Amino acid sequence: MATPAENNKVELENSDSDTSFLSDVEEVDHMKILSSSGADGLQFVDSYFQREASSLLTDNSDLYSNTCDNSSLNTSLLPWERLADWIHCFCVVTFDLEIGQMIEEIYPSHVTLSEQDKTSICYLAFPDSNSGCMGDTQFHFRIRQSSANVDGNNGSSQMDLSNPIPKAHSRYNQLCPPAFRTDSSYWWGFAYFRQVKDKNLRRGYFQKSLVIVTRLPFVELFQELMAVIAPEFFDKGSICLEISAKEIDQWPRPVPGIVLNLPLLGTLFQVRIPSFSAAASPSFSTSLTASPSKTSSNSLLRRRCLIATDVDLYSALAPLLPHLQMLWELLLCGEPLVVMATSPSICSHVVQALVNLIHPLQYCLDYRPFFTIHDSEFKEYTGRPSDPPPSVLLGVTNPFFAKALQHWPHIIRIGGDILSSSAGLKIRATKSNVSSSSKMSECKPGVYTSYKSHLTRDKALLKLIAKGAQTRRPNQVQSALMRRHFLELTQSFIIPLERYFARLMPLQKSISPYKAVPGLSPFKAEEFLASVEHCGPQLTTGVKGDWTGLYRRFLRTPNFESWSQQRHQEANNKLRALQMDALSQSDITSWLQGKREVEVVDMVLRLREKLNVTLAEETLPVSPQTRLHLQGQLDTVLQSLPEDLRSVLKAS
């Protein structure tokens, strides 16, 4: 393990393949931001979507105007409105000898949670077994929101009962990649658990946990926040929560694509949230050198630069490094997978890192970084040994799961210190003639699976990371190398899908301003699979193997369904926008010649509907000029009608 002094300096050799990686920690953060632009320049074949995202960033300029200057905050904001944009509440969970785990305090006090959600948070805020978690332990969990919690908002945020998330989150979801969107069906919990001996207590131990409950999947940000807030809370009490909440309530809204200055308890967090459009995202170094008028008030604060959604891949997955490509396949195909570890911090870290392996694809199956025997889905997910395991990803610590989940096809068992074994975990194949009980009775660390990979192992990453370990390369750089490798691998996997999907789009010349918008051709799985042999990922990556077989399995998963639905929505929005543009540029005067009055009225209604849609649907890539031209076309059509009918239509 490298010392802190060594971590601040990287010896770069001319022969290294990572000579472009920077030594300073702040520069490493900058490198992580730019890591998506790999050496081979892999990009999505999705240019129209990039334009759509850029137009969103342009049209929502008012959303950006106050993000870096707290002095310009709108004074008309309701109390805790900005707090609700970031977190739902703080929960203090303690242990009562008679009741067990219970919520001692919720702050702000007016926040509501369903009884089921409170119970889930209580059990997940503490380790699930006697794992010896003495001192301080940080981890996170993800729970399904109880359906009874229809009014579970912070009071001040503008909510819609059919989609109970703050409006700021709706805008956030439009600008960020799908993998980082908020989901109104789930809560995230970031816990800081403290257990120390205390002779003054009957139990002999002080046990308490502070939890941030939120909808935002900002793993690195909230872990860093808890590392600042929780020690102060345990030292000074609830006054720390009040101070923290008031500071967060002054933060700008969570807007992807720019650097946000977030001061908290003497630390300035300079945070970037990933966005779709790299062109609209200023570089980290540029953003950190803002004008003195915007940074002088924070000049005395400790500064921490980070990407909100990052996960330390190297620390989490180093023992699994030889098997990561196989695990990447399992995640793509939505296979049931459980991570068994000795502490919630390890299992939650590993599960989150695994989910990050398939970015920029969204992992659309349920996953629980920390899952306990008290979870409401415990019976649903464990089931009977004769039942097929559900397609979920679980992180567990209770030894009971070794028996309850012994019939699962893929099990990762991790020992104590996740970095204690430089040799990595071994594949321990499960065979049909070996009983599950004997399979798990040894409880040895390893990857228990009989899965046969479709692809041959790419040894380039193994050599690169191994060399970094020998030269004591900082963990941040190691993680960035791993992230870039799997980003490029996933992009290579997506490119043939994007290319085939582009063929399903109708020709632009087939779009008529006066007819219905043409639809996409259907996605034919066999036709796509036949094209993989000639234009598959082997053209953009050195990994060989049965890519067709891997695609065949992927096409049957929720991961593909989500990708396909998203692409169809984007394509349909683009086609609608093109049709509106064609209508705005058409010769409406010539069209009016010889038209019956009922047809003209119908055109008025159609133009009105399209104008209303451009205002209501922010994801529609329609320019202000097109809206202006459509309004002009509407005025022209109205003028062609008799005055009495025109008056009726204007009044309606």
Please give the Cα distance from 473 to 7 (Å, whole number).
7
Question: Has residue 56 been placed in a domain?
Answer: no
Question: Has residue 163 been placed in a domain?
Answer: no
Q: Which of 310, 329, 352 represents a domain boundary (last residue)?
A: 310
pLDDT of residue 27: 38
Structure-token pair, residue 56: 């969103």
Domain count, the chain: 2
pLDDT of residue 509: 84
pLDDT of residue 433: 39
- For the cut 60, the answer to whether the pLDDT of residue 285 exceeds it is no
Question: Has residue 14 been placed in a domain?
Answer: no
Question: Backbone dihedral region of 223: left (phi > 0), alpha (psi from -120 to 50 degrees) or beta?
Answer: alpha
Q: For residue 74, count other CB atoms closer than 10 A to its CB.
A: 8
Structure-token pair, residue 153: 């908002």
Given pLDDT bands bounded at 50, 70 and 90, which one contains residue 561? Answer: very high
Q: If you ran DSSP here, which 8-state letter would residue 284 be given?
A: H
Sort 464 into a burial class: Cβ within 10 Å, 0-12 / 13-18 / 19+: middle
Please give the Cα distance from 166 to 534 (Å, whole number).
47
- List Cβ neighbours of 528 (8 Å cut-off, separation of 6 or more): 496, 497, 500, 551, 555
Q: Determine if the peptide bond prior to 506 is cis (ω within 30°).
A: no
Structure-token pair, residue 426: 């071994």
- For the cut 80, the answer to whether the pLDDT of residue 129 exceeds it is no
- For the cut 70, the answer to whether the pLDDT of residue 199 exceeds it is yes
- Across residues 586-596, what is the average pLDDT? 88
pTM to 2 decimals?
A: 0.80
- Across residues 501-506, what is the average pLDDT? 92
- For the cut 50, the answer to whether the pLDDT of residue 104 exceeds it is yes
pLDDT of residue 150: 42
Q: For residue 343, count other CB atoms closer than 10 A to its CB.
A: 23
CATH number for the domain including 256?
A: 3.30.450.200
- List Cβ neighbours of 118 (8 Å cut-off, separation of 6 or more): 103
CB 263 within 8 A of CB 175: no
- Across residues 589-612, what is the average pLDDT? 88
CA distances from 47 to 52, 484, 498, 587 (A): 9, 21, 10, 29
Position of tokens 């509440």?
89
- Across residues 81-96, what is the average pLDDT? 91
pLDDT of residue 53: 40
Please give the Cα distance from 315 to 69 (Å, whole number).
35
pLDDT of residue 423: 47
**Three-state secondary structure call for residue 447:** strand
Question: Has residue 256 been placed in a domain?
Answer: yes
- For the cut 60, the answer to whether the pLDDT of residue 29 exceeds it is no
**Three-state secondary structure call for residue 630:** helix
Structure-token pair, residue 54: 């850029």
Mean pLDDT of the chain: 79
Given pLDDT bands bounded at 50, 70 and 90, which one contains residue 415? Answer: confident
CB 63 within 8 A of CB 255: yes
Question: Has residue 241 been placed in a domain?
Answer: yes
Share of the chain above pLDDT 90, in %: 41
Question: Has residue 631 been placed in a domain?
Answer: yes
E strands, 124-182, are: 135-144
The range of the structural domain enclosing residue 634 comes to 587-651
**Residues 302-359 pLDDT 10s:** 888 999 999 999 999 999 999 999 999 999 999 999 999 989 999 999 999 999 999 9
Please give the Cα distance from 85 to 248 (Å, whole number).
9
Give the lowest-confidence range in 62-66, 442-446, 608-612: 62-66
pLDDT of residue 163: 38
- For the cut 70, the answer to whether the pLDDT of residue 42 exceeds it is no
- Across residues 249-261, what is the average pLDDT? 92
Question: Has residue 644 been placed in a domain?
Answer: yes
CA distances from 502 to 107, 359, 608 (A): 49, 21, 31
**Residues 157-169 pLDDT 10s:** 443 343 356 778 8
pLDDT of residue 525: 93
- Across residues 86-108, what is the average pLDDT? 89
**How many residues are listed for the chain in this entry?**
652
- List Cβ neighbours of 203 (8 Å cut-off, separation of 6 or more): 95, 97
Structure-token pair, residue 283: 């570089």
